């Protein structure tokens, strides 16, 4: 896009799926990328030896470790322009709300919501100093509409959308945009691990009658965090094949 050269990004959940595809996309556009995941071995398989990628084993539910990781990226590359929060889990699915355990609910919220909160909290001061920033939180159509049997996931992604609206308004005059993306079913390892009935339930709701692809998500993400997207903030971008039209 010719707007990325010299920019620095942090991508969470970068060892696989959406995070991996987006990190590779940004690297191909000339971005220097801090790649974060708990799976350090997988990160090194993809990014080890790439001088434009900085590999870090980061638990996004640990606020202190997140802050240390952000500081390390800044020391390494000298700036932080972009944050893409892809780290996330579905948790236990196909369970009605009255049978959801508190343990599962908290675990899903800790990763999906608190992880996105901790990372954005840590990078925003650097972006404020530079009067520039692009933050993309990954939400889900489940956060807009709710998926039966997925209370923890749906509620955590709704919280991500709510945070996006708040942060978008708070930093609208600073050169920082904060947006979310709400995909429907994207073919990732996370989706492959879900029960077939749960995936069918979600796919049947998509007018295009197919899953989205990782490449489609990465292309939209690249636009959202580019200089070309300068007048949209606090917004949740749709990637649902027609399921959500608002």
- Domains located in the chain, CATH noted: 8-236 (3.40.50.720)
pTM of the model: 0.94
Place 1 in a pLDDT band, splitting at 50, 70 and 90.
low
Residue 111: phi and psi, rounded to 5, are -80, -50
Query: How many angstroms separate the CA atoms of 201 and 183, rounded?
Result: 15
Residue 98 C-beta-side C-alpha neighbours within 13 Å: 0
Torsion of CA 57, 59, 63, 67, to 10 degrees: 20
Q: What are the residue numbers of the active site?
A: 153
Would you tell me how many other CB atoms lie within 10 Å of the CB of residue 98? Answer: 6
pLDDT digits (tens, 9 = 90+) for 29-86: 999 999 999 999 999 999 999 999 999 999 999 999 999 999 999 999 999 999 999 9
């Amino acid at each position: 896009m010719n707007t990325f050269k010299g920019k620095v990004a942090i991508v969470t959940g970068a060892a696989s799926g959406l995070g991996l595809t987006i990190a590779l996309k940004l690297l191909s556009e000339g971005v220097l990328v801090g790649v974060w995941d708990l799976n350090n071995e997988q990160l090194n398989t993809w990014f080890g030896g790439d001088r434009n990628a900085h590999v870090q084993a980061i638990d996004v539910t640990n606020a202190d470790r997140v802050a240390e990781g952000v500081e390390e990226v800044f020391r390494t590359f000298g700036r932080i322009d972009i944050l893409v929060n892809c780290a996330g889990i579905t948790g236990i699915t196909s369970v009605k709300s009255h049978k959801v355990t508190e343990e599962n609910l908290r675990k899903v919220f800790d990763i999906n919501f608190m992880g996105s909160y901790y990372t954005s909290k840590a990078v925003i001061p650097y972006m404020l100093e530079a009067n520039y920033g692009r933050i993309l939180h990954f939400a889900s159509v489940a956060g807009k509409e709710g998926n039966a049997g997925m209370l923890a996931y749906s509620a955590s992604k709704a919280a991500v959308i709510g945070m996006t609206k708040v942060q978008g308004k708070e930093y609208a005059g600073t050169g920082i945009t904060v947006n979310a993306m709400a995909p429907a079913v994207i073919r990732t390892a996370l989706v492959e691990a879900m029960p077939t009935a749960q995936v069918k339930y979600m796919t049947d709701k998509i007018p295009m009658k197919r899953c989205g692809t990782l490449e489609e998500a990465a292309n939209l993400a690249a636009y959202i965090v580019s200089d070309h997207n300068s007048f949209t903030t606090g917004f949740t971008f749709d990637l649902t094949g027609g399921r959500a039209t608002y």
